[in-house]
Amino acid sequence: GAGVSQSPSNKVTEKGKDVELRCDPISGHTALYWYRQSLGQGLEFLIYFQGNSAPDKSGLPSDRFSAERTGGSVSTLTIQRTQQEDSAVYLCASRWDYGSPLHFGNGTRLTVT
What's at 14, amino acid-wise? E
Interaction between residue 111 and other proteins (CB under 8 A): no
Instruction: Kindly indicate which of the ranges 13-21, 63-71, 73-81, 92-100 contains the residues binding other proteins, using the contact rule CB under 8 A.
Output: 92-100
Residue 11 or 80: which CB sits closer to other proteins? 11
Residue 18's closest CA among 60, 66, 61?
Answer: 66
Measured in Å, how far apart are the chain's first and last C-alpha atoms? 37
* Residues 26-45 as x/- pattern, contact with other proteins by CB under 8 A: -----x-x-x-----xxxxx
